[in-house]
Amino acid sequence: MPARHDSFYGRRKGKPLRPGQAERLTRLLPVLRIDTAQPPPDPFSALFAVPVTAIVLEIGFGGGERLVHEAAAAPQTGHIGIEVFEAGLAKAAAAIDKSGLANIRLYDGDAGPLLDWLPAGSIARIDLLYPDPWPKRRHWKRRFVNAANLQRIARVLEPGGTFRFASDIAAYVDWTLQHVRREPALIWTAETADDWRRPWPDWPGTRYEAKAIGEGRRPAYLTFRRTG
């Protein structure tokens, strides 16, 4: 298992939260957040207060709009959302509270340690949607997709589980395809030349995606499968 936890580069805080937002985050996060100081529950599905038949994970959920939408649409699936940006966490926590959904848990830190905490083969799908592209060459090493993180992703996916990646930055799409090619436990599922241009079924989009399309960029949607 990779030992170093160095997958987060970016901002944890922006403008100060409004008093109401800060109060809600302080009240709601302790209930929603996964405590990695404790061992994972056994059975792992007990992480959720409601019965779930599968567990999915989103890395860097932004404001959590898609996470909450999907958790409402799939109440028998447990959803784990990871985000480091405080305002995004506050927004997601408030939306989860308002919706009354009990099939969502959050992790307010770097995805690397959380991936290392998760039991092997415990997750049916991992989504990495519009990760920070770090376009400058000297920053490429900051990209979330790297050999260590792909190893982490492969370890926690169940056999046949999927890793979905979306980006509007062609260079990051190429980067991801090249890195996954070197990870034997993951294979790209594309069957036709156009597969990666089509969003996934029932795809609500993300906030970042809407902005990218509005600015004239065309997203790519890659699906990889865990072998074995």
Ligand X SMILES: C[S@@+](CC[C@H](N)C(=O)[O-])C[C@H]1O[C@@H](n2cnc3c(N)ncnc32)[C@H](O)[C@@H]1O
Name the residues annotated as catalytic: 132
Residues 110-149 that bind ligand X (CB under 6 A): 110-111, 129-132, 144
Nearer to ligand X, 69 or 207 (CB): 207
Residue choice 2, 8, 69, 140 for contact with ligand X (CB under 6 A): 8
Pairing of strands 220-226, 157-167: antiparallel
59 in contact with ligand X (CB under 6 A) = yes
Minimum CB distance to ligand X, residue 94 (Å): 16
Minimum CB distance to ligand X, residue 110 (Å): 4
156 in contact with ligand X (CB under 6 A) = no
Q: Please state, in angstroms and as integers, the Cα–Cα distance from residue 7 to each residue in 107, 150, 152, 177, 190, following that order.
A: 15, 11, 11, 19, 27
Neighbours of 144 (CB within 10 A): 23
Binding mask 82-101 for ligand X (x = CB under 6 A): xxxx--x-------------
Candidate segments 4-12, 13-21, 33-41, 97-105, binder of ligand X by CB under 6 A: 4-12
Nearest to 119 by CA among 226, 39, 32: 39
For 44, the token pair is 């792992």
10 in contact with ligand X (CB under 6 A) = yes
What are the strands, taking DSSP E only, across the chain? 54-59, 77-82, 104-107, 123-129, 157-167, 186-188, 220-226
Minimum CB distance to ligand X, residue 135 (Å): 12
Minimum CB distance to ligand X, residue 108 (Å): 9
56 in contact with ligand X (CB under 6 A) = no
Nearer to ligand X, 48 or 61 (CB): 61
Q: Please state, in angstroms and as integers, the Cα–Cα distance from residue 163 to each residue in 27, 134, 221, following that order.
A: 32, 21, 11
Residue pair 127/196 in contact (Cβ under 8 Å)? The answer is: no
Nearer to ligand X, 46 or 213 (CB): 213
Residues 194-213 that bind ligand X (CB under 6 A): 206-209
Sequence-separated (6 or more) residues with CB below 8 Å from residue 120: 155, 156
CA angle, corner 142, sides to 65 and 106, nearest 5?
Answer: 30
Residues at the site binding ligand X, with contacts judged by CB under 6 A: 7-8, 10, 59-62, 82-85, 88, 110-111, 129-132, 144, 206-209
